[in-house]
């Protein structure tokens, strides 16, 4: 049986130096390649970061411009809304003035055409319009015929007569109109007086009539006492 002997390679000094030099050159090449690759990667990363910063700055600028545009739109909308509300109020005031002028013309025509020589107090009409849930706007006109054309004080009382819980009930105007503190309502008129207000009826109350009484303060008995059918005008 043959014995295995270790393989021994003999290197000369020049060979060892060459081998070391080769290893050094290889390491230098690897290091150089790594340096250039790392430098390129760093450069690419820097360009990417710079691109992100540029995009961020542009987006921030667009956002700021959008905020300013939105603020301008909101301000314009507020101004438009304010102007619209002001216009609406002006239209309502004009409608009220027109209504009053129409009523005045109507009353003047009636007085000019009326050949009845009787004098006293009267209510020409009681006008009711729905204004909301259980809320109603009312208009009524007091007329006065006197031999002397002068302003006189008149006391007026108004009740809404109806049914609640199966029983008859009278609601005085000061109970259902927040603007009326107490009865009688004190009026001052020469020929007529146009009056307006809002009444809020309680739940479960079904109105049937509106009763109106008128009298001069120096006379205890009403000179006018009439019931008007509760009728909603369109």
Which range is least confidently modeled, 51-55, 135-139, 197-201? Answer: 51-55
Tell me the pLDDT tens digit for each residue of 70-128.
Answer: 888 888 888 878 788 888 888 877 776 777 677 667 766 766 666 555 668 888 778 89
pLDDT confidence tier of residue 221, bands split at 50, 70 and 90: very high
Tell me the pLDDT tens digit for each residue of 73-86.
Answer: 888 888 878 788 88
Tell me the pLDDT tens digit for each residue of 150-170.
Answer: 788 999 999 999 999 889 999
Q: What average pLDDT score do residues 176-196 get?
A: 90
pLDDT at 43 over 70: no
Other C-beta atoms closer than 10 Å to the C-beta of 210 total 23
pLDDT confidence tier of residue 206, bands split at 50, 70 and 90: very high
Letter string b/e over residues 64-82, b meaning 16 or more CB atoms within 10 A of that residue's CB: eeeeeeeeeeeeeeeeeee
Residue 2, both tokens: 């043959």
pLDDT confidence tier of residue 65, bands split at 50, 70 and 90: confident
Q: Which residues sit opposite 152 in a β-bridge?
A: 189
Q: Are 208 and 161 a contacting pair, CB within 8 Å? A: yes
Q: 158: helix, coil or strand?
A: strand
The model scores a pTM over 0.75 = no
């Amino acid at each position: 049986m043959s014995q295995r002997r270790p393989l021994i390679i003999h290197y000369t000094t020049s060979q060892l130096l060459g081998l070391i030099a080769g290893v050094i050159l290889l390491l230098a090449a690897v290091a150089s390649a790594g340096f250039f690759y790392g430098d390129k990667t760093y450069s690419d990363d820097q360009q990417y970061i710079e691109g992100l910063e540029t995009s961020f700055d542009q987006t921030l600028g667009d956002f700021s411009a959008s905020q300013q545009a939105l603020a301008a739109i909101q301000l314009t909308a507020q101004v438009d809304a304010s102007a619209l509300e002001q216009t609406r109020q002006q239209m309502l005031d004009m409608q009220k003035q027109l209504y009053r002028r129409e009523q005045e013309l109507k009353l003047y025509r009636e007085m000019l055409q009326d050949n009845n020589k009787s004098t006293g107090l009267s209510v020409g009409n009681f006008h009711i319009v729905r204004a909301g849930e259980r809320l109603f706007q009312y208009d009524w006109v007091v007329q006065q015929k006197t031999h002397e054309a002068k302003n006189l004080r008149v006391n007026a009382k108004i009740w809404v007569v109806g049914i609640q819980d199966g029983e008859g009930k009278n609601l005085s105007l000061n109970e259902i109109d927040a603007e009326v503190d107490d009865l009688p309502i004190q009026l001052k008129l020469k020929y007529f007086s146009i009056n307006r207000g809002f009444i809020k009826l309680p739940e479960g109350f079904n109105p049937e009539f509106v009763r109106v009484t008128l009298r001069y303060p120096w006379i205890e008995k009403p000179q006018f006492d009439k019931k008007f059918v509760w009728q909603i005008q369109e």
